[in-house]
C-alpha cells in the first residue's frame, strides 16, 4: 500500500485512487471483490457523503483510508496527519460502566492530552453534543441517540481536522437525527472536513456539499450535491436511484 502526502491540490484533504480489495467469505472462502478501482477526492471544508446500496464498498473504503484495512492495490493521499483524524464506527462499543465524562477523559488520555487541556476539552465537547446534564450518567443508561452523540464527541477529542462518521444516523428517531444533524452542521461551521456514509438521502441532501455514489465497488458519480438536482425538478434520491439502476 502506498501513502503519499503533499502531492495534491491545495484544497484536497484526502484523495483515493483506484482502490481494490478482495476478501474471502463463507465456509468455502469464496473470493469476493469488494472494491473495484474506487476513486474519489474530499476537499477541505467539505461535508462529503458516500452513498450506495448495501455491499457497495462504502465502509470498506472508509476503513482503508483510516488505515484499519489494507487494500490489494491503490493509492491514498492524505493531506492531514493521522493524529488529526477522528472516527466514529457504525457500531461502536463503549465500556458501558463508564459515564460520558469518564469515556471522554479516557479517550483524551489515549491521545496524551495534558490534564488541564483534557478537562477543558471534555467540558466543551459535552456542551457541543448537548450532553452536559447526562455527563456523569453511566453509558448503559444512555439512549441510542445519546450514544451516537457521545460517540461523535470521542471522535473530536483530539481536535481533528478530518472526521469520519460511519452511518451516524442509523437507528435514530427523528429527535436523535435532528441532534446529530445539528452537530454535523456545527462541525462544518467550525471549518472541519467531514466524510460520512448514510442511507438516509434526505439528510445527505441537507448536510452535504459533495457526494460520491458507489455501486458494486466502484464510484459511478462524484460531484456537488447541487449538480445532482436537475433544474427541472427532482431531488438527490431521484438522482441516486437513476444512477444505481442504470
pTM: 0.89
Q: What does pLDDT average to over the chain?
A: 90
pLDDT of residue 154: 97
Domain ranges of the chain: 1-80+197-246
Protein fold of 1-80+197-246: Rossmann fold (3.40.50)
Residue 199 CA, distance from chain mean position:
13
Backbone angles phi, psi at 175, to 5 degrees: -70, -40
Helices (H), 98-173: 100-110, 115-128, 144-155
Mean pLDDT within 205-228: 94
Angle at 95 between CA 94 and CA 97, to 5 degrees: 135
In this predicted structure, the answer to whether residue 140 has a pLDDT above a threshold of 70 is yes
In this predicted structure, the answer to whether residue 1 has a pLDDT above a threshold of 60 is no
CA distance 128 to 105: 16
Sorting pLDDT into bands at 50, 70 and 90, what band is 244? very high
In this predicted structure, the answer to whether residue 60 has a pLDDT above a threshold of 70 is yes
Helices (H), the chain: 58-66, 100-110, 115-128, 144-155, 174-189, 201-207, 236-245
Higher pLDDT, 231 or 195: 195
Sorting pLDDT into bands at 50, 70 and 90, what band is 230? low
Backbone angles phi, psi at 223, to 5 degrees: 170, -175
pLDDT over 90 percentage in the chain: 74
Amino acid at each position: 500500500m502506498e501513502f503519499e502526502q503533499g502531492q495534491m491540490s491545495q484544497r484536497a484533504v484526502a484523495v483515493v485512487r483506484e482502490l481494490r480489495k478482495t476478501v474471502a467469505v463463507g465456509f468455502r472462502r469464496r473470493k469476493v471483490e469488494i472494491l473495484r478501482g474506487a476513486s474519489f477526492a474530499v476537499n477541505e471544508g467539505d461535508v462529503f457523503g458516500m452513498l450506495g446500496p448495501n455491499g457497495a464498498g462504502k465502509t470498506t473504503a472508509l476503513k482503508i483510508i483510516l488505515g484499519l484495512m489494507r487494500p490489494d492495490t491503490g493509492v491514498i493521499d492524505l493531506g492531514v496527519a493521522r493524529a488529526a483524524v477522528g472516527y466514529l464506527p457504525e457500531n461502536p462499543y463503549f465500556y458501558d460502566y463508564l459515564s460520558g465524562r469518564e469515556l471522554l477523559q479516557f479517550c483524551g488520555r489515549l491521545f496524551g492530552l495534558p490534564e488541564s487541556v483534557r478537562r477543558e476539552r471534555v467540558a466543551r465537547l459535552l456542551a457541543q453534543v448537548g450532553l452536559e446534564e447526562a455527563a456523569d450518567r453511566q453509558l448503559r443508561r444512555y439512549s441510542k441517540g445519546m450514544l451516537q452523540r457521545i460517540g461523535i464527541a470521542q471522535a473530536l477529542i483530539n481536535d481533528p481536522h478530518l472526521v469520519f462518521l460511519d452511518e451516524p444516523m442509523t437507528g435514530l428517531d427523528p429527535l436523535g437525527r435532528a441532534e446529530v444533524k445539528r452537530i454535523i452542521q456545527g462541525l462544518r461551521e467550525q471549518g472541519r472536513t467531514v466524510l460520512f456514509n448514510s442511507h438516509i438521502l434526505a439528510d445527505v441532501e441537507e448536510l452535504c456539499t459533495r457526494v460520491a455514489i458507489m455501486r458494486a465497488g466502484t464510484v459511478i458519480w462524484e460531484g456537488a450535491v447541487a449538480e445532482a438536482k436537475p433544474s427541472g425538478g427532482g431531488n438527490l434520491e431521484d438522482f441516486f436511484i437513476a444512477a444505481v439502476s442504470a
